[in-house]
């Protein structure tokens, strides 16, 4: 495919001109122009559904543009398949990884470009290639590790190495940080810097402003299928956000000081094991009062998930007590707990939060379908379901064709609004939101945050679990830092970031907070 062997050292210049792609009546890309200079990190910024992925899929040969052309080094090219794109020096790392979990790293990398010797896969050569590339670009991967055993961040490195072994000069990263912990994100940004220093161009698709500012050389903002502007990384975050969303966006969470009331949730001596029987929550004591937000910060996998699941009755604790208004929750079923006035936004929306094949209306009553007015233990009342769905779609600004649309077709942010709407549509005593804005676009984040604060203000006890420190600090009145199943400290959200970061890494330092001191709740942590 390649016209002549290019020298690796001469990076290529990529230009998209007037790319237009329609799906029926929808114009997904409307005359988009984009130039990627050699060696630059070009951020493609836009909300979910803005058309970023569609654009990149055309560049990668997965879709063919209806209009416009793709120029590589000034020469118009047509990519009929990813094979053509790779041959032209363009590689892509997808949002969800295209790896075979039971294969080793080397096997995965060889997959699709198997080098054979006498009809057998040349494993040694595959290993050598992996090691070569990983050393050259400072991407540590173990070629013999099974992919299923690797953490997400390492799997992503495998994807990047895979693209690099195909000898590409332009690397498209589609929302690469969506699945990463803050540390892994830092590592990835360092890798991107290294790649761009080595002369590779990177197209970085994202909607996270901080990362864009940290890494991008140039920024192109796409909104509703059109290029709405280019910006330099010096631009302020709210400025970028407002270009992206098309209106002024408030990135700060606006909230009045909390007015904590009675003690609603009281957790004491809670011990929970994870699926493998490993202790995930280790003797946790916690209280949350009515009208306050307790933020639980921590790197993912430190027991937050298990803690929340235990409260919701989804996981049986080994020991300890969980009380809401002095009513013991342990031993109750999830349904009873939900009915007792606990609202829950699960951390993994697509797995636990919604039934994608169900309509918006059905998802909105997923935990209320057998209660008046939506129905009874025997049958549903479709009219009431539809009626309330219409109201809530409006009230929670859920962007959908209709309440009868399958939830799976909505953008991540709107799916999350469905979950939030469902849980916040009944009177609550306790509201638990785990990763409430993961994979949610800026406009929806603002909305979801405001609803959470509103719920606090009407006197509900709120727990927000998030691996995004900004989110925890923005929403919380008190911040509990979780590390290896323990609450290391409960601090004020005004605590300096560095200190929080250290706590998240398990370093308590000079701060003299006893690790599991429930009375830490009593300290004046609120603003």
User: Binding other proteins by CB under 8 A: which of 15, 37, 259, 274?
Assistant: 274
**Whole-angstrom distance, CA of residue 520 vs CA of residue 513:** 8
Q: Which is nearer to other proteins, 103 or 369 (CB)?
A: 369
Q: Which is nearer to other proteins, 147 or 490 (CB)?
A: 147
- 336: its two tokens: 């009873």
User: Binding other proteins by CB under 8 A: which of 276, 372, 509, 512?
Assistant: 276
Site size toward other proteins, by CB under 8 A:
79
**Whole-angstrom distance, CA of residue 492 vs CA of residue 158:** 39
Instruction: Considering only residues 83 through 142, tell me which ones interact with other proteins, judged by CB under 8 A.
Output: 83, 92, 94-98, 101, 112
- Please name which of 94, 91, 51, 60 lies closest in space to residue 78, comparing C-alpha atoms: 60
- Sheet of 279-289, strands arranged across: 279-289, 263-273, 319-324, 327-328
Q: Which is nearer to other proteins, 71 or 366 (CB)?
A: 366
Q: Which is nearer to other proteins, 459 or 485 (CB)?
A: 485
Q: Which is nearer to other proteins, 98 or 190 (CB)?
A: 98
| DSSP letter string, 435-458 | STTTT--HHHHHHHHHHHHHHHHT
**Whole-angstrom distance, CA of residue 425 vs CA of residue 365:** 10
| DSSP letter string, 183-239 | HHHHHHHHHHHHHHHTT-EEEEEE--HHHHHHH-SEEEEEETTEEEEEE-TTS-HHH
370 binds other proteins (CB under 8 A): yes
Instruction: Considering only residues 211 through 270, tell me which ones interact with other proteins, judged by CB under 8 A.
Output: 225
User: Binding other proteins by CB under 8 A: which of 107, 129, 211, 362?
Assistant: 362
User: Binding other proteins by CB under 8 A: which of 142, 186, 352, 457?
Assistant: 352
User: Binding other proteins by CB under 8 A: which of 222, 337, 428, 491?
Assistant: 337
User: Binding other proteins by CB under 8 A: which of 356, 387, 450, 501?
Assistant: 356
**Whole-angstrom distance, CA of residue 279 vs CA of residue 322:** 17
339 binds other proteins (CB under 8 A): yes
Instruction: Considering only residues 430 through 449, tell me which ones interact with other proteins, judged by CB under 8 A.
Output: 438-439
Q: Which is nearer to other proteins, 173 or 521 (CB)?
A: 173
Q: Cβ 149 to other proteins, closest distance in Å?
A: 10
Instruction: Considering only residues 281 through 320, tell me which ones interact with other proteins, judged by CB under 8 A.
Output: 301, 312, 314
Q: Which is nearer to other proteins, 254 or 336 (CB)?
A: 336
Measured CA distances, 54 to 44, 62, 67, 367, 412 (Å): 12, 9, 14, 35, 16
Instruction: Considering only residues 188 through 207, tell me which ones interact with other proteins, judged by CB under 8 A.
Output: none
Tracing tokens 């590779």 back to the chain, one arrives at 200
Going residue by residue from 410 to 429, which x/- string records binding to other proteins, judged by CB under 8 A?
xxx--x--------------
Instruction: Considering only residues 44 through 63, tell me which ones interact with other proteins, judged by CB under 8 A.
Output: 48-49, 51-54, 57, 60, 62-63
Contact 403/389 with Cβ under 8 angstroms? Answer: yes
Q: The dihedral of CA 181, 185, 188, 194: what is its sign?
A: negative
Q: Which is nearer to other proteins, 122 or 352 (CB)?
A: 352
Q: Which is nearer to other proteins, 186 or 457 (CB)?
A: 186
**Whole-angstrom distance, CA of residue 118 vs CA of residue 92:** 31
User: Binding other proteins by CB under 8 A: which of 115, 262, 318, 335?
Assistant: 335
**Whole-angstrom distance, CA of residue 360 vs CA of residue 393:** 8
Instruction: Considering only residues 2 through 31, tell me which ones interact with other proteins, judged by CB under 8 A.
Output: 23-24, 26, 28
- Please name which of 86, 272, 231 lies closest in space to residue 170, comparing C-alpha atoms: 86
3-state secondary structure at position 329: coil
Q: Which is nearer to other proteins, 361 or 481 (CB)?
A: 361
User: Binding other proteins by CB under 8 A: which of 135, 144, 357, 523?
Assistant: 357
Q: Cβ 525 to other proteins, closest distance in Å?
A: 30
- CA 327, 331, 335, 336: dihedral to nearest 10 degrees? -30
Q: Cβ 468 to other proteins, closest distance in Å?
A: 13
Q: Cβ 135 to other proteins, closest distance in Å?
A: 24
Residue 352 DSSP one-character state? I
With a CB cutoff of 8 Å and minimum separation 6, the contacts of 390 are 403
First to last CA, the chain: 63
Q: Which is nearer to other proteins, 49 or 493 (CB)?
A: 49
343 binds other proteins (CB under 8 A): no
């Amino acid at each position: 495919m390649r016209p002549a062997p290019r020298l690796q050292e001469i990076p290529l210049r990529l230009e998209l001109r007037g790319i237009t792609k329609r799906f029926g009546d929808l114009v997904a890309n409307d005359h988009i122009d984009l130039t990627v200079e050699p060696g630059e990190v070009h951020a493609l910024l836009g909300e979910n559904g803005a058309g970023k992925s569609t654009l990149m899929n055309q560049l990668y040969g997965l879709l063919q543009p209806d209009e416009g052309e793709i120029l590589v080094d000034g020469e118009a090219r047509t990519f009929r398949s990813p094979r053509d794109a790779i041959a032209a020096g363009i590689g892509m790392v997808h949002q969800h990884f295209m790896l075979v979990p039971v294969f080793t790293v080397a096997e995965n990398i060889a997959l699709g470009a198997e080098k054979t010797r006498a009809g057998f896969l040349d494993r040694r050569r595959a290993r050598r290639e992996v090691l070569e590339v990983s050393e050259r670009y400072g991407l540590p991967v173990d070629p013999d590790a099974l992919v299923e055993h690797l953490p997400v961040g390492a799997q992503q490195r495998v994807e990047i190495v895979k693209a690099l072994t195909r000898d590409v000069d332009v690397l498209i990263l589609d929302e690469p940080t969506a699945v990463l912990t803050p540390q892994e994100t830092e590592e990835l940004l360092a890798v991107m810097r290294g790649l761009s220093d080595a002369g590779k161009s990177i197209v970085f698709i994202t909607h996270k402003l901080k990362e864009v500012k940290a890494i991008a050389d140039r920024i192109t903002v796409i909104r509703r299928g059109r290029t709405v502007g280019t910006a330099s990384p010096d631009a302020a975050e709210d400025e970028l956000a407002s270009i992206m969303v098309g209106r002024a966006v408030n990135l700060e969470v606006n909230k009045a000081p909390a007015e904590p009331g009675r003690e609603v949730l009281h957790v004491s001596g809670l011990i929970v094991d994870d699926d493998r029987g490993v202790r995930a929550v280790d003797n946790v004591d916690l209280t949350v009062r009515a009208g306050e937000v307790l933020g639980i910060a921590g790197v993912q996998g430190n027991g937050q998930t298990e803690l929340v699941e235990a409260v919701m009755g989804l996981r049986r604790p080994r020991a300890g007590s969980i009380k809401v208004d002095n009513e013991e929750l342990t031993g109750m079923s999830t349904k009873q707990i939900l009915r007792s006035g606990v609202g829950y936004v699960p951390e993994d929306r697509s797995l636990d939060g919604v039934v994608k094949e169900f309509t918006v209306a059905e998802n909105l009553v997923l935990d209320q379908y057998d209660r008046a007015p939506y129905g009874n233990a025997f049958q549903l009342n479709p009219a009431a379901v539809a009626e309330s769905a219409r109201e809530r779609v409006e009230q929670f600004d859920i962007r959908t064709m209709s309440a009868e649309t399958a939830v799976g077709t909505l953008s991540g942010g709107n799916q999350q609004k469905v979950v939030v709407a469902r849980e916040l549509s009944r009177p609550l005593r306790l509201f638990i939101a785990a990763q409430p804005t993961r994979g949610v676009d800026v406009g929806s984040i603002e909305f979801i945050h405001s609803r959470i604060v509103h719920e606090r203000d009407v006197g509900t006890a709120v727990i927000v679990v998030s691996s995004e420190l900004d989110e925890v600090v923005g929403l919380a009145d008190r911040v509990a830092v979780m590390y290896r199943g323990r609450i290391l400290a409960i601090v004020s959200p005004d605590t300096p970031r560095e200190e929080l970061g250290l706590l998240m890494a398990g370093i308590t330092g000079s701060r003299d907070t006893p690790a599991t001191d429930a009375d830490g709740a009593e300290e004046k942590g609120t603003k």
